[in-house]
Each structure stands twice: as C-alpha cells, then as structure tokens.
A and B are shown apart, each in its own frame.
Chain A
C-alpha cells in the first residue's frame, strides 16, 4: 500500500463479502424451494428469497467496485484520495441502506413496503433486479454521486492513466444508466425496452469497462509488464465491448412487442459480443506468460486468469448459445437463461472482485502476500467455487434443454408445472452442488485467518 488513504477500501471489501454470504444462503433457500415447493412458505416466499439473492449480489458487486476504485485510484493517480472521510461515511450509509432494504423485504409484505416507502409518488418497484424501494434507489444515486465526486476529484488532482480513465468512464456510465430505473411507463413494451438500458447496458456495457480496468491494474502489479502494453490491450478490449455490446442490446428485443428488425441487429451484434471476452482471456494469459517478476501472491494470479476463462465461458459461450433469434425463440425465459446468468455473473464480476480483493487485502493488512498456507486455502476455495458454479451451470443447462423440449418443442407440449416435475432430478443436483459452493465460500473466508510465514510489504 503506497498511500494511506487506500485503507478505506478495506471496509468495502469486508462488507462485500458479508453480503456475498447472504446471497448464497438465499440462493440455497430458493434452490430447495424449486424441489420442495412449500419450504418456508408463506414466511419467505420464493420471490422474496429471489430479491434478497439478486439484490445482495448487485450491491456486493457495487461495493467491490467501489472498494477497488478506492484502492487503485490513489495508486494510479499517485496522490492521496480527495476525501477518505467521505469514503468511510458513504460506506456506512450504503451498508445501512442495504441492510434496511433486506430487512424490509423479509419482514413486511412487499406491497406494504411499497406503500411505506413512497412508491405511490413514483412507482419504480416490482421490476426484476430493480425491486428496491424508491428511497433505496435514491440512496444509491446519492451514494454513487458522492463516490464519483470523490474519485473524480482524486483523478483530476493526480496522474491520469488509461486505467483510471477507463475505470471512471465505467463508473460514471454505471450511475447514468441506473437513472433509467426511475422511468416506468404504463406501456409494458416501453417499460421493458428501457429496463434493459439498465440491465444489459450494465453487464454487457459499462461494467465491462470496470472489469477491464481492475484486471489491467492487477496484471500490471503482478506481472510487471509495461504499462504501455497493458493499456493498449485495455483500449482494444473495451472498444470491442462497446462496439458489439451497445447494439447487442437488441438480443432482448425479440419478443417483447418491439419490431422484428431487432432480430437481425441484435443477433449479429450480440453474436460478436464473445470476442471482447475472448480477448480478455488472451490478455490475462499473455501478460502472465510475459511476466517480468515473480509476484509472491499466486492466489491473485489464479483469480485473474480465472476471470478471463470463466467470463469467456459464462458470458461468451453460454451467451452465444441462446443469443440468435431462432434459438432464443425456444430458450427465452427458461433455465437456459438462468444457467447463463449464473456463470456469466460469477465468471466476470464475482471473480474480478475476488481478484482485486485477493491482490489488495494482504497489502491492506501490511504484507506483500499471504502466507503459503493461507494461499493454498484460498486456491482450494477458488477451485471449489469455480467447479461448483460450472456444474450448477451444466445442471441448469440440462434442465433447460429438457424444459424446452417438453414444454415448447414436443408434439404434446406439457404445462409448465408438469414439465418442472420431470426435471426435478437436475434441480436436486443443482442444490447439492450449491452446498459445495457454500463450502468453497467458507474455505475462502477461513483463508483470511490462516496464519503462517508472511513476507512484509
């Protein structure tokens, strides 16, 4: 750690990991409800568990991005953070708001929560991933703006590098696109159309800039390859991302009442979206192969390479699988979508946040890298979590193919609920694999407490 103010990243990383645990526990609850339908009903209905699962995911990833920014921007800009105090205050505001929102989901019926929090003034709730009460949404905007102010001021007073420029572009883009969550027309077609400007243009747009910047930063540090080379790669990757990803939004406009030309535009451009993910994989492996130093943090290197591979598989390969309109006609809104969602989110965003945590946390705790023993534990958790999400994806894909066949393709299409019964075996396998994922997460957290011989920073 070169600048004192980088220390504010630590609470963000710890808060993110706490929410990660909550996300997985509720994932397991839902996984069980898939096969034991009345589990916890009516106390925690499926939809409530789902909101906690997905919203915790989004919020902990945002916390991870913020932590990453607080850690890397001072180092890139070669100056202390504009205001460390503001950063700490925002952390607590964000954590308390997230906590209260979850408590709200779990303790009052959703309709009551909507009433209590002013949804009547401006209805924004009850849409997938954007379930947060108006107050929480406004809180997110305020925290994001204050955070961006802090980070932007830091960059402005210091050195401007490609990495902190790209990171800033991504973070500003994230905040700007979120504003579309306040637009909720009665017209369902328009509602859905602009809803994707938040969801798609986040994960297949601006978030990839954040991903690229974080990965580039870690790769510079652990490989010692010239900044010039790494920054060039970064620009090439994000060019490919936005050139394909913006119009790629059209792959969500096939069946929601929008014109049919989107089947062509969305199909072609989104079919190219795997290219930037492939470039990311090449980038990570190339830089590690050309490394100029042996960084003692092997675990961080593993996470960085893993991000490359798994984001390509989850987003690139599993995305491509169902992105062309003739395929999507059958797979739209099935377990195939869920399979892709899991591997893509894990492979790209979970892994990149764990990469920066893996690299930065030892330094924040005053050592160059964790002890060998701690790193071995961390690498075990890498394999446990990564292999189990792979199997979760495979089981959901199997369930999805059967679902499509039974419910949409065969001569005598089955009703939804009947088809679900037929594929229950795969849901059981998904659930048990989810338990292995949880074990991996516990090993991961435990690795922070493993002692052993450490090199000083």
Chain B
C-alpha cells in the first residue's frame, strides 16, 4: 500500500522528469553566460595560435621567400602556388615571381611554415577574414606580404654575404633567353 502511494505521488508531481531536468533547472536558476559577445568581446589568443598566413621580409625590406616551392610541396590541401624565376638583373638568384594562396582551402596546419627553409612564412593572429565573395580569399604575393608587414613589425636581420654569387658576378649577362616559349 505504502509503496503504491509513493509511486502515485511521484507520478502526480512529475518527480522523474524533474530528476532528469535537474541540470537544466540548475542552469535556469544560476544563469552565467559563457558565449562571448563577439565582435564586442574577443578571446585572448594562445601564443601558439595559427591564424592567417603571411609572407615575411628581412629588416632591409627584401622578401625572404626564395621561391623554392617547398611550401607548395608540403601543403596537404594544395593551397599554395609558387611561380619561381630568376630575379631580373640578378643572375641565378631565385625568387617567387608570383605566389598565391587559396585560403578557402587552408587547414591552418602550419606545415608550410615548417617546410620553409628561410622562415619566409609566418602564421599571424589574424582570423577575421570573412568576405562576401570567396574569390577574395585567393591571395597574391603583395597581399600576403602586406599581411606580414602589419602582423610582424619586427623583422629578422638579413644575413651578410647571403647572395655571394651575385656579389662576385664578374661578367654581365648579355642576353638571357626569355623563359616562356
């Protein structure tokens, strides 16, 4: 008898449901929001944050990238396209004539940054890259350098004697064959 009365009471007071909703009810009563009111509020980023990619320069303003294509090879989602060439007027010196990143595909894995032999790539803390037209995420060299310029104001010092073969070049090239054709 007593047993059935207890169960009858539980039924009419929806006791089981209350037990199930205990957590919900607790939150309802002690409300403390964890959602950040972005864009009014922003998170502090951890030091190892991997954000927008950028191309870097040396302290004298020259591009660090030597156009070696290794970032292109390292990238798992084929974001990068490097078109390397000889620096005009500096025979046998290599640079990236064109450099593209298709950021719509980037995983922000940082493998390209690891691959770069001259530390010419950096990951900035920029993440606000929403655009209306995703074609705007296809970035060229100038855009990537500009990102680097604004994110890394302190630049690495250019090594002395870095381009010795040019310094020692003793005969001017008369006519270089055009590269296309």
Answer whether A and B are interacting partners.
no
B contact residues vs A (CB 8 Å cutoff)? none
A contact residues vs B (CB 8 Å cutoff)? none
